[in-house]
Amino acid sequence: MSTIAFIGLGNMGGPMAANLVKAGHRVVGVDVTQAAIDRHVAAGGVKGASIAEAVAEADVVVTMLPSGREVNALYLAESGIVPKVKPGALLIDSSTIDVDTARAVAKAAAAKGLAMLDAPVSGGTGGATAGTLTFMCGGEDATFARAKPYLDAMGKTIVHAGGPGNGQAAKICNNMILGITMIATSEAFVLAEKLGLDAQKLFDIASKSSGQSWSLTTYCPVPGPVPTSPANRDYQPGFTAAMMLKDLKLAQDAARSAGAVTPMGAEAASLYGLYAAQGEAGTDFSGIVNFLRGR
Amino acid sequence: MSTIAFIGLGNMGGPMAANLVKAGHRVVGVDVTQAAIDRHVAAGGVKGASIAEAVAEADVVVTMLPSGREVNALYLAESGIVPKVKPGALLIDSSTIDVDTARAVAKAAAAKGLAMLDAPVSGGTGGATAGTLTFMCGGEDATFARAKPYLDAMGKTIVHAGGPGNGQAAKICNNMILGITMIATSEAFVLAEKLGLDAQKLFDIASKSSGQSWSLTTYCPVPGPVPTSPANRDYQPGFTAAMMLKDLKLAQDAARSAGAVTPMGAEAASLYGLYAAQGEAGTDFSGIVNFLRGR
């Protein structure tokens, strides 16, 4: 069993750290919020005095942070993870951040002889608690192999997408498809409604035809056809519009940086921005169907 | 067995009429092109002298025409189908046209006591020849029941989507989802490529995740992951960009007419318009990935 420093014990990081505790590891947690620390200790974790002290004694460091800015700061600051971590420790960043920062931090870690994996997740707080997350990983083969037993303790599907940054790339590419396809599906339901075509009829036809998608058949944005979808519980998340907007912005950052043209991705980012701005940032992202329908 | 007047013996109508001949019907064909007539006669059909004469002796009239303009003209002209057809005959329009025209023509037919079904298809020329088309039908229950045996001779999946015009509504809603989702999927593959994420890796991840769709897993726009998709035969159609553009324009017509807001549908119509304008109208619609990638 290992000593793991876990930085960022929020809605996702908290239950992920708890699953590492359950797997028998000594998990030294750090967070800016006292309540998060208290929950971590109650779950059997240890309170870290600081990032520098927590990582100095850790075999593995796992981070779950809000954005690339925090990842960059906490890894590269003078008393941050890369300067202070024990030689030979394994670094796993499960934050969802921009590809460029993920690659820059991995490069800085490699320059100090440290193996680092970017391993953003999907599956939400439910998956974090149940230990059924999907991890999309970027890093060297040997790094992935070292990290896998720890990821197995927190997730169900662990995928290696290639070298450093490719975990982030895989996540934003997938979620860009998702964001666009959810709007496409929602537009079709609104159009059908205004044309007098029953939602269940459209579902029955499109779900067995070329309009089929995960957005339609697993996460249907109108109530009825898929009883488990958030549409049936007044669009309680699930996956919020704010989270989708974040991922779509990351996809646009990546597209600009890499020189890719993604007009639909840009339009989806605009539409989720408008939807979130109506006070709906905390609503499930499939609620955009109500925004498209209007009042 | 019935006498069927079949108007429009083109790439789709020709093989559809041939399947009605095979089912044992007397099929009186009309087309503006002599070659189409010759093929119809070679397949065992009968040449009609004119629309008026063909429909005057028919129990059933099937039309397969390029657009709402032709449907409106041929059904409602003085010597057209509605004025000249035998009383009690069944009218089936398999053209893909705008919802408003479909409803207006059905209403004019009903005013003369004629039962009419709009029954646009999907499945392309391959499905038309093999008799495996999908028919999306709009009309009264009794009309659908009367038409079904004839549609069964030409297709495999026959769906009743509701009252007059709803066959057209179902088709354009489905194909609007398809057009948008194909672009979404293509943008993700281009972005992945520019980020150094292998296409097969993205496929493996997204196809088992929330990015899954028919566009990805059945009709993948890049060569490799789905061997049967047009990407593996240099984007030979399949379903051309011109056909997709036509359906997206019909969806926009319907949205404007019904007061629905479909920003992604509008963007997809623009992008397919631009793609077709590059000389790619006859290329499979999944070839838009090459347009997005650039040279």
**Using the beta-carbon criterion (under 8 Å), do B184 and A198 form an inter-chain contact?**
no
Q: From the options 1.10.357.10, 1.20.1250.20, 1.10.1040.10, 2.40.50.140, give the CATH code of B169-293.
A: 1.10.1040.10
Q: Give yes or no for residue A113 having a pLDDT over 90.
A: yes
- Note the pLDDT tens digit of each residue in A42-98: 999 999 999 999 999 999 999 999 999 999 999 999 999 999 999 999 999 999 999
Nearest residue of chain A to residue B261 (CA atoms):
A292
Q: Using one digit for the tens of pLDDT, what is the confidence trace for A133-143?
A: 999 999 999 99
Q: Which of B191, B207, B218, B256 is best to mutate for the A interface (most A CBs within 10 A)?
A: B191
Q: Which CATH class is domain B3-164?
A: alpha beta
**B181 has pLDDT over 90:** yes
Q: What's the rounded Cα separation, in Å, for the pair B52 and B74?
A: 10
Question: Phi and psi at residue A62, in whole multiples of 5°?
Answer: -120, 130
Residues 158-177 of A with CB under 8 A from B: 159, 161-163, 165-166, 169-170, 172-177
- pLDDT classification of B120: cutoffs 50, 70, 90: very high
In sequence order, what are the beta bridge partners of A46? A28
Whether B177 sits inside 8 A of A268 (CB atoms) is no
> What's the full length of chain A, in residues?
295
User: From the list B172, B180, B192, which residue is nearest A184 (CB)?
Assistant: B180
- Interface subset of A 187-206, CB within 8 angstroms of B: 187-198, 201-202, 204-206
Phi-psi region of B26 (alpha: psi -120 to 50; beta: other; left: phi over 0): beta
What local confidence, expressed as pLDDT, does residue A237 receive? 93
pLDDT at A193: 98
Query: What is d(CA A44, CA A22) in angstroms, rounded to the nearest whole number?
Result: 8
B211:A174 CB<8 A: yes
* Closest chain A residue to B200, measured at CA: A161
Q: Is A133 touching B (CB cutoff 8 A)? A: no
Q: DSSP letters of A100-132?
A: HHHHHHHHHHHHTT-EEEE--EESHHHHHHHT-
CB contact under 8 A, A264 and B180: yes
Answer yes or no: is pLDDT of A295 > 90.
Answer: no
Q: What sign does the CA torsion over B208, B210, B215, B220 have?
A: negative
Distance CA A257, CA B240 (A): 32
Pairwise CA distance, residues B31 & B50, whole Å = 9
- The per-residue pLDDT for range A170-189, each reduced to its tens digit, is 999 999 999 999 999 999 99
Quote the CA–CA distance of A71 and A77 in Å, as a whole number: 10
Q: Where are the alpha helices (DSSP H) in B153-226?
A: 166-195, 199-206, 214-217
Give me the half-sphere count of Cα atoms (radius 13 Å) on the Cβ side of residue B39. 18
- Catalytic residue, from A171, A194, A201, A208: name it: A171
Contact A171, A203 (CB under 8 A): no
pLDDT band at residue B295 using 50, 70 and 90 as cut-offs: confident
Distance of CA A130 to the CA centre of its chain: 15
Which among B166, B192, B268 has the least Cβ separation from residue A169?
A: B192
- Alpha helix positions (H), A136-286: 141-152, 166-195, 199-206, 214-217, 241-258, 263-275
Which uninterrupted H or E stretch holds B30? strand B26-30
Residue ranges covered by each domain of chain A: 3-164, 169-293
Q: Is A171 noted as a catalytic residue in this protein?
A: yes
Out of B170, B202, B268, closest to residue A202 by CB: B170
Chain A environment of B215 (Cβ under 8 Å): 210, 213
Name the residue with tokens 């025409």.
B65
* Whether pTM exceeds 0.90: yes
Q: Does B128 touch chain A (CB under 8 A)?
A: no
What's the mean pLDDT in B174-182? 98
- The answer to whether residues A231 and A288 touch, using CB atoms and an 8 Å cutoff, is no
The yes-or-no verdict on residue B84 having pLDDT over 90 is: yes
